[in-house]
Amino acid sequence: MTSGLASLAVVNPALAERAGVSALQVGIVLVGGPLLLGLMGKVRARAEGRVGAPITQGLSDLRKLFRKEAVRANPTSAVSGLAPVVLVGSAAVAAAITPLVSTLPVSAGGSDVFLVVYLLLMGSIALALGGLDAGTAFGGMGSSRAMTVGAISEPALLVGILALAVQARTSNLPGIVTASLNHPGWLASPQRVLALGALVVVVIAETGRIPVDNPSTHLELTMIHEAMILEQSGPDLALSTAGEAMRLGLLLGLVANLFFPWGVADSGSGLAVAIGVFALALKAASLAVLIALIEVSTAKLRLFRVPELLAGGFVLAVVAVTTGLVTR
């Protein structure tokens, strides 16, 4: 890969810089996702009066799972093996084209909000199909619940970001971040506040956090995400866990840069990228701590109340778009 980037730099230095930024972003999401989960677990433990596991526990668990053998049920097909790969691959592609560290990743012109949302949806569908493939009652139940949640949360994510796109007059994510940097007054506008509320609800739902789901429990009657991966083990379980952690890091980084774009690099220089990495880590960690504190102070909703919460987030997103259209 290093030799490929070196030969690319000879042909097109600007493209090589963008490729390096995208590769860096994928690496940050891959490593930072489990670290954010560890940070959230640590904050929850401290708030509850416990010591808690170290922040790096997620990375240790992934390393342990990759060393184990993959055991699959007899009725499963190739879907069970492909689903975790598609989940990680879709999250990696979305991280490569999303303005996390810099507004100039590879294919910045094609980094459209619709493409990123569709990539996240692809990962969700792959995981749901993997849960169905084993043919167990719990896998089917979890997949059905996940698709019900996704049917409301994915449109809310799309409409919430469109509220910012209306203001910036572009659906290109780097373009939205650049426009926000050029117009600081937009960050306190009503549509931004409404869209932020909607996207916080979406992030909680998409990552399976309280009050939508409880990732620390294995109660069959209440779990959503855990039910889909109940039959997975070894590398399959490691990939699914890593993919979900990457989606968490990607969503937190995306929300942080869309609403608090300070520190995002507008060039491929080493210093600007280093500042972008530091700013991304600080903002994503702050959002992770906020979500962890919300989890501590909130009880899990009953399953039939979850669509009401998600519908509320979708309504906030629609109101944000309407407000942006009225005030244009």
Q: Answer whether 0.85 is exceeded by the pTM.
A: yes
pLDDT confidence of residue 8: 45
pLDDT averaged over every residue in the chain: 85
Q: What is the 3-state secondary structure (H, E, C) of 131-191?
A: HHHCCCHHHHHHHHHHHHHHHHHHHHHHHHHHHHHHHHCCCEHHHHHHHHHHCHHHHHCHH
pLDDT confidence of residue 110: 67
Task: For residue range 215-245, list pLDDT tens digits in order.
Answer: 766 655 567 777 788 788 889 999 999 999 9
Task: For residue range 42-87, list pLDDT tens digits in order.
Answer: 998 898 888 888 999 999 999 999 999 888 877 788 888 899 999 9
Tell me the residue range of the domain where 187 lies: 2-326
Distance CA 144, CA 150 (A): 10
Task: For residue range 283-311, list pLDDT tens digits in order.
Answer: 999 999 998 888 888 877 787 788 888 88
Percentage of the chain lying above the pLDDT 70 cut: 92
Question: How many domains would you assign to the chain?
Answer: 1
As beta bridge partners, residue 172 has 112
